[in-house]
Each structure stands twice: as structure tokens, then as C-alpha cells.
Amino acid sequence: NAKQAGRDNFKIFQSSMASDASEQFNFEQTLRLAIQAGTQFHMFYQPKVNKDQQMTGLEALVRLELSPGKFTSPAEFIPVAEESGQIIALEELILRLVFSQLANWHKRFNNTPRVSINLSGKHLLSETFLPYLNKCMAEFAIPGEWIEFEVTESVFLNDMDRCIQVLQVLQGFNIAISIDDFGTGYSSLNYLKNLPIDVLKIDRSFVLECASLKEDAKICSTIIELASTLGLKTIAEGVETEAQFQFLKEQRCNDFQGYYFYRPMAVERIDELLEVHNQALASNVTEA
């Protein structure tokens, strides 16, 4: 089951669909039915930490359980959802799953870190995004301070004026924005000065060898310096080793995320972490 799979590394369902058009069509249908039913999508959450390894945030990552215990990777089905016009329906479902979880956590814990949600550029720029978001925030009583959206640079290749408009509305709600996979896109750095962005997420491909390759080390430190110059925060994704963590810490990267600290986990495991996190905060207060 999802809980068990989350314990270890989850299995990727091998569908080898990309090669065959009819299999592609079948998978689109499967996805459509799954979105309609809504019961096979589960949210996992991966903590983000600061230099002292205290939890500072959680990233929501969707999993699709097509048959019991068989998980299909979002890297596989998100692109299919985008190409087949289903991404908005899927992300509306994800928003509801995350918001209901957030409401639950905030009822039980004094301190729940901000939760980030990955958002497709297609959805961000759609007419329905802001009205739906508004409706859900009201329905689940979610203030903007509780959430963050992660978008990739590719969204800025589209309609820059519309991007500015939408992101300014989000900023007005106090929703944070981070640029996911930063450094891998093709857009110009121009958008960094025009858009209300809070965080650059250094892509895993640069983090991978930041402690062993001069070039990747330079790229990471340059991104951190650029962010700091512009008043933005940085988080490194895909941190897997002590050496990577040490290097990035020395470069004054603000936050860190990766298997070295935590894997994406099912809700039951996050509950346990939030318990500990809240106890630690409570004892700090009494000591002070």
C-alpha cells in the first residue's frame, strides 16, 4: 500500500508506453478515469530543512496508484496530463488534497511549515486558475501564508505580462513563489527583476556534482550569489551526501532538500515529524 511503499523507495510502474501510440492513448484514458474517480492519487510530502537541519517547509509530490502497491511516477504522468489537456483537472484535484491535509495539520499542530505545490505553467496561465484557487482557499480556510507554488522557468517563455499579473495576485495573497529546477530552462534572467519571486530552487543536476566538479560548484555558488543580490532565497534540491550539504552550506545556500535529509513520505510519517517538530519548538520556548 501507499504507506508501505513510502517507507522505502516507491516502485515505478513500468509501462514503456512512450514508444507506442495506442499505448499512449490507453494511458491517457487510464489517467482520465483516475482523475474522474480521484481516489488513486496520493500526496507524499518531502521536508525542506535549514543549515541546522530543522524543517522549514514541505513539498507536496503526487503519486498515482494504478493498482494496489503499484505506483506510477509523476515524471511519467504529469507530461501526459499536460499533453492531453488534463493537467488543470488533475491539479485542481491535487489542490483539494493538499488543502484538506493542510487544514487537518493546522488543526492539530501549532506549527506547520509552509507547503509548496508544483504547478504547471499551462495551469498558472489559464483563466480558471485564480478563481478556482480563491474558491478552494475560502472553502478550506487556507491563508496564503500557508502555501507556496513551484513553477519552472518555461512558464516565462509564454505571456510575460500575464505571468506578472497572476504572480502579483498570488503575492497579494502572501503566497510564496519558487522557481523549480532553476538553471535548466531557456528563459532570460530578465524575468527575475520583473516578477515577484521568492525562492530559486537550484536544480538537482548542478547539486549532484557540486562537491566534486569545479564547474558545478561554480554554477551553484553563482546562483546563490545572484539570488542574494536580488533579495531572493535559495534552496538546493536533490542533496544526497554530506559533502554536497557542507559545500552548499559554506556557500550560504538558505535551505536544502534531498534524500540526505528525508525522502518524500506518506502522511503518517509526516505526522510523526510534525509531532517532534512541535515538541522541539515548545521546549525551545520554555528554555528561552
Binding stretches for ligand C2E (CB under 6 A): 46, 60-62, 73-75, 78, 91, 94, 118-120, 150, 180-181, 237-240, 258-259, 264
> Coil, strand, or helix at residue 198?
coil
Q: 75 or 189: whose CB is closer to ligand C2E? A: 75
- Residue 239 beta carbon to Mg ion: minimum distance, rounded to whole angstroms: 12
- Residue 118 beta carbon to ligand C2E: minimum distance, rounded to whole angstroms: 4
Q: 30 or 86: whose CB is closer to ligand C2E? A: 86
Q: 91 or 180: whose CB is closer to Mg ion? A: 180
Q: 32 or 278: whose CB is closer to ligand C2E? A: 32
| Cα 132 off chain centre by | 19
Reading phi first (left if > 0) and then psi (alpha if -120 to 50, else beta), residue 92 is in: alpha
Residue 58 interface partner, choices ligand C2E, Mg ion, none, CB cut-off 5-8 Å depending on type: none
- Grid coordinates in use for 104? 487537518
- Identify whether the C-beta of residue 223 lies closer than 8 Å to the C-beta of residue 182: yes
Three-class SS of 151-166: EEHHHHHCCHHHHHHH
Residue 179 interface partner, choices ligand C2E, Mg ion, none, CB cut-off 5-8 Å depending on type: none
* Residue numbers at the binding site for Mg ion (CB under 5 A): 118, 150, 180-181, 237
> Coil, strand, or helix at residue 228?
helix
Residue 120 interface partner, choices ligand C2E, Mg ion, none, CB cut-off 5-8 Å depending on type: ligand C2E
DSSP for 100-117, please give it.
HHHHHHHHH-S---EEEE
